[in-house]
């Protein structure tokens, strides 16, 4: 028992150091940008040596993967909390709450958001079922995918017939359906992906300030996008509640 207790203390100290390393790296990201997040910079901030940090994360890539997994988990929890605050019998309200929570998190965490979505998962990571980043990304993906599956189950609605899509699109959608084990029929899955492209595309442009030439306040634009998404899925749109 004493040996187990000592081992437990060592493990707790290790976990605490791993978290401190990631928190330090995140602070560097927020204050100085992606280029500032190096193993040596993290070590300096913590009063450690570079080789000491490498005992916890064997490479810069490993540290980045762990950071991005943290970001995905935080964003996923934020979205789930917003969704679950709305009753299941109001799927439109749940969807818009989820989308608004994502936007709020993204515009208040631009560095984290940019690193998550501007760093594509490479082929090696896609094959690694144990990758924390891949697992966290899949959980994030499920927040939307499960909601659209629920919306479709509650109220199947017209979508572009699958046979009318380009053959290449059909092939890719079927492959995605197989990979995600989605319960949605292919035409509904295409509609889900179309919705995600519209939502994500606008959000990226806002976070990266690509629409500053025309808009100083993108919330009304985002809400118009949500209104159109609700119409696409035959859901009732409700504007955000004022405090």
Q: pLDDT for 25-84, tens place per residue?
A: 999 999 999 999 999 999 999 999 989 999 999 999 999 999 999 999 999 999 999 999
Token look-up 């919705």 returns 195
Joined tokens for residue 45? 């901030």
Q: pLDDT for 154-182, tens place per residue?
A: 888 778 899 999 999 999 999 989 888 88
What pTM was computed for the model? 0.88
């Amino acid at each position: 028992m004493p040996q187990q207790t000592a081992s437990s203390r060592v493990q707790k100290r290790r976990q605490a150091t791993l978290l401190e390393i990631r928190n330090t790296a995140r602070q560097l990201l927020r204050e100085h940008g992606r280029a500032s997040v190096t193993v040596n910079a993290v070590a300096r901030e913590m009063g450690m040596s570079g080789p000491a940090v490498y005992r916890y994360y064997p490479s810069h890539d490993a540290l980045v993967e762990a950071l991005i997994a943290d970001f995905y988990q935080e964003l996923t929890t934020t979205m789930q909390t917003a969704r679950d605050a709305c009753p299941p019998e109001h799927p439109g309200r749940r969807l818009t709450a989820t989308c608004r929570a994502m936007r709020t998190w993204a515009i208040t965490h631009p560095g984290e958001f940019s690193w998550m979505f501007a760093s594509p998962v490479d082929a090696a990571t896609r094959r690694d079922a144990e990758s924390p980043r891949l697992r966290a990304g899949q959980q994030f993906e499920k927040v939307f995918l499960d909601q659209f599956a629920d919306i479709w189950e509650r109220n199947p609605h017209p979508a572009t017939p699958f046979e009318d899509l380009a053959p290449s699109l059909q092939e890719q959608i079927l492959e995605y359906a197989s990979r995600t084990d989605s319960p949605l029929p292919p035409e509904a899955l295409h509609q889900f992906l179309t919705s995600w492209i519209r939502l994500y595309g606008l959000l990226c442009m806002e976070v990266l300030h690509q629409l500053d030439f025309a808009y100083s306040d993108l919330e009304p634009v985002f809400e118009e996008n949500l209104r159109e998404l609700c119409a696409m899925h035959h859901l009732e749109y409700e504007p955000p509640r004022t405090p």
